Amino acid sequence: MKGKKIILGVLCLLMVFVLTGCGKTAISTSDFKSKADNNGYTTKDVTNQFQSTGVVNEATLAMSNDGYQLEFYVLSSKDNATSMFNTNKTTFESYKSGASSESSTDVGDTQTYSLTTKDKYMYLCKVDNTLLFVNVDVKYKDKVKSFVKDLGY
């Protein structure tokens, strides 16, 4: 009986260490631009489109020659990033159908949500006060996932 308690205690400690290490590290806009450039994307600063909101400090697009784009935001606070994440997640969820698959995580200051439908691949990742937004044709899913992995998001 005592051996089972020790094993259970060790497993609990291991889970604490594993879960606290699962969070991602926020990147800067310059990191995003650099990695986008290295992956063949063209970047564009669109911060001025959000000046009136008072919550978006920086907004950058990574545009593909294939005609799709990814969006990276630095928000004024973690709460604003969470709010933007939740708003977009709700919008994405409205596209769910019987043939779709979704996943989500919420660890520390990191939240992710992905949805794949017959036609679309959608992905959100909030890390601290940053947000990565993806809504592309499903045929670009693998290419986008590779770039997102390179970002660490």
The mean pLDDT value of the chain amounts to 89
Flag whether pLDDT at 134 surpasses 50: yes
- Asked if 147 contacts 128 with a C-beta cutoff of 8 angstroms, the reply is no
Predicted local confidence at residue 21, as pLDDT:
44
**What domains are defined for the chain?**
24-151 (3.40.1000)
Nearest to 22 by CA among 144, 109, 131: 109
CA dihedral of 36, 148, 116, 101, whole degrees rounded to 10: 180
Q: Dihedral of CA 76/82/85/87: which sign?
A: negative
Give pTM, 2 decimals: 0.85
Predicted local confidence at residue 124, as pLDDT:
98
Return d(Cα 24, Cα 109) in angstroms, integer. 8
What integer is the mean pLDDT of 54-83? 98
Flag whether pLDDT at 94 surpasses 80: yes
Flag whether pLDDT at 97 surpasses 90: no
